Amino acid sequence: MINARFGTFRGLVRLALSYPQLALGQSATLRTSPAEVHRLVFVCQGNICRSAFADVVARKAGARTASFGLSTTTGRPAHDPAIAAAQALGHDLSAHKALDRTDYQPQPGDLLLAMEVRQLHRLAADPRLSHLPRQLLGTWTQPMMPHLHDPYGLDDRYMAYCLQRIEQAVTALIRTYPGATPS
């Protein structure tokens, strides 16, 4: 059950720790008004599973989007199991190419959406990105799941579950930030 729902025991522990970090204001979240958001920017470690999938889902729904990885190689394709899991959910990740943080070009109105608290801290520590609003994508899931553990190399059941959670979060997120969807 742990491998299918949380990826690993470590994923479960990080999820459990993320709730108090969020509640106590220790998540490095930087909020903004929904009216100020014009583009949703999804962030994870490698930009080949979670953020890549969130980007595709949001773009398919008509949102202005971008995505990047905190530590990746620009141009790297999406992870094959992520492509397969996305396809099962009706999304195509086959054309995705990863973008490294250093190649990401911030724009006014960007909202950074990370998958983990520690990623928010890395964004807050980056002088080029620290001024941008940032939040956890998992706060839009029901029930709230602030830590969306990296499915790379893990059980296929967890890959599917993780991407389903991301799809749910993106759907709710778009309703919250209508300025990211051109009229």
What pLDDT sits at residue 98? 98
| C-alpha dihedral (170, 68, 51, 93), degrees to nearest 10 | 110
Closest CA to 124 of 43, 67, 19: 43
Packed helices 50-60 and 156-176: angle between N→C axes, nearest 10 degrees: 40
Closest CA to 123 of 138, 140, 109, 136: 136
Q: Which residues, in sequence order, are bridge partners of residue 181?
A: none
Enumerate the active-site residues. Answer: 44, 50, 150
CATH of the domain at 71: 3.40.50.2300
Residue 35 CA to its chain's centroid (Å): 21
Element of type H or E holding 66: strand 65-69
What pLDDT sits at residue 179? 84
Domain count, the chain: 1
What pLDDT sits at residue 183? 61
d(CA 127, CA 69): 16
- Which tens digit of pLDDT belongs to each residue from 132-178? 999 999 999 999 999 999 999 999 999 999 999 999 999 999 999 98
Residues of the chain with pLDDT under 70: 183
| Domain boundaries, position 105 | 2-180
